[in-house]
Amino acid sequence: MRVRIMSVGIVGVAVAGLLAGCGGGREPEAGTPPVETQPPVGAAPVATEAVPGQSAAPEVGAGADAEAQLTEPGTELKVGERAVIRVNSGGEFAIVGLTVTAIKPADREVFASSLGSRIKAAKLDPYLIRYTLDHVGGKEGFRILTPTLEITGPDGADASSGRLVFLKRMPNCEFTHPDSSFAPIGATHAVCRVQAAKKGTPVTGVKYNAADGGYATTPLTWTN
């Protein structure tokens, strides 16, 4: 029903009464397109795209940016220099910085006592590898397994005598995995690993040769 608003007072009152009786609405005219409903002034719009600064997945850090920082396989570093690697564990991953802080001979007496065999210890030259991890990005950084480093000779070849089985832990050298304190971006975790070479084998550095990231055939290396 189309209503014309008259300027005459009496007619205006009558029309107002008529509109009230019809529910206060006006029927759309034929051929008139419906008017789009606008949100109230000040109301937040419904988000149709990801809001900057937020991620649709429960990731921590800037995943793409973190991946872009990965150190190229075959990179040669000095003790004190940092590489960035991707560490997998049980389907999860984290991008971490890895800085080797020391490669030095271990105390022979302490090594023999921890190994539980002076005879075996006498055939080996023990070394301590100290390094620090820092959480760059990815998922569940504190669920990863600590990456392992192996001692190398002057030509970069493996100098390790193999897996060591200790009777007790070496004092002041613990190989541990990150816990929940490693979850925040920028968190750090200090690591110490004991390695041994056959007696008389020269040791000049360490390598990281995990398969993930292409390091198996072209490892990252650190030298003093």
Is the pLDDT reported for residue 184 higher than 70?
yes
Structural domain range at position 112: 63-223
CB-based contacts of 143, cutoff 8 Å, min separation 6: 89, 90, 92, 94, 178
Residues of the chain with pLDDT > 70: what percent? 68
115 assigned to some structural domain: yes
- In a domain, residue 200? The reply is yes
Q: Is residue 32 part of a domain?
A: no
User: Quick one: average pLDDT of 106-115?
Assistant: 95
Residue 16 lies in a domain: no
Q: Does the pLDDT of residue 169 top 50, yes or no? A: yes
**Number of domains into which the chain is organized:** 1
Is pLDDT above 60 for 33?
no
Question: What is the rounded distance in angstroms from the CA atom of residue 173 to the CA atom of residue 179?
Answer: 17
The better pLDDT of the pair 162, 6 is held by: 162
Minimum mean pLDDT range among 4-18, 65-79, 98-112, 189-203: 4-18
11 falls within a domain: no
* Mean pLDDT over each residue of the chain, to the nearest integer: 77
**Interval 70-87: pLDDT, tens:** 999 999 999 999 999 999
Q: pTM for the complete prediction?
A: 0.69
Residue 26 lies in a domain: no
Mean pLDDT of 45-74: 53
In a domain, 3, yes or no: no
Residue 133 lies in a domain: yes
| Residue 121: Cβ within 10 Å count | 20
CATH number where 186 lies? 2.60.40.1240
Percent of the chain with pLDDT over 90: 50
Q: How far apart are CA 118 and CA 164, in angstroms?
A: 14
Q: How confident is the model at residue 143 (pLDDT cuts 50, 70, 90)?
A: confident
Q: Where are the alpha helices (DSSP H) in the chain?
A: 9-21, 63-68, 108-115, 118-122
Strands 92-105 and 82-89: antiparallel
